[in-house]
Amino acid sequence: MLSQGDLLYIQRPTQNQQRVLIPLDIVANEQDQIIIETSQVFDWLPEDGQILVYYDKRRDFLKQSAKLEIHVHEEDEDQVDGVMRYAIQLLGEAVSAESRQTFRVSTVISGRTAKFDDEGHVPLVDVSASGYAVIATKEHNVGEIIKTVLSHDGREFSGTACVQSICKLDDQRIRYGMFCVDKRQPGNNLNQGLLTISMAVQREQLRRLSRAS
């Protein structure tokens, strides 16, 4: 369940395949409604208030249908001028925001990076046996093939991956969900690296859990 302080993303409709996500902080939960505050103007909202929202839950980046409306509360007299309060009602069930269905492991805590195209090292946020996700700054298109190098224990794993999903987090950061298309050409071992790193991160997480208990 989402709670106060969590980050929620609202999808803004665009004319292309790119998903533009607006990050918003959750300030409260009231009667099964998520309350947010923002100075942004949502003049693009449909009349029925139906939207798509995205959020992190455990190891998954999820999307879910929702309804947004202006939230009026008797205590809102202290509200800062120009800041609107909205209530979001989640609808239906959440589903994965990325089409990689293999088990994904979060790598955020471990601080891992990936060499992504010509951007150099960018944050690696999750891995699975079939792909990975990074947060980069340059724009790429769905279906674009990207050269990637992952590192673990002094070894480098290189190969190619296809852009599968795009989530624009803000003006500077774009999250890319990637699917490995390594054709096992000489020197390409990205598939092996994804499996190796995924298992290593799971072992690290188990060690942290055992120490905590």
CATH code for 7-96? Answer: 2.30.110.10
Q: Which CATH architecture is the domain 105-212 placed in?
A: Beta Barrel (2.40)
Measured CA to CA in angstroms, residue 41 lies from 37, 82, 86, 147, 159 at distances of: 11, 10, 11, 38, 43
pLDDT at 159 over 60: yes
pLDDT at 138 over 80: yes
- Angle value at C-alpha 181, between 106 and 169, nearest 5 degrees: 45
The predicted model scores a pTM of 0.56
pLDDT tens-digit series, residues 15-33 = 655 567 788 889 998 878 9
Confidence band (pLDDT; 50, 70, 90) for 121? Answer: very high
pLDDT at 76 over 60: no
The token pair at 63 is: 């999307």
105-212 and 7-96 share a CATH fold: no
In terms of average pLDDT, the best of 43-47, 72-76, 155-159, 199-203 is 155-159
Domains of the chain, by residue range, sit at 7-96, 105-212
pLDDT tens-digit series, residues 29-67 = 887 899 998 888 888 888 888 888 888 877 677 888 889
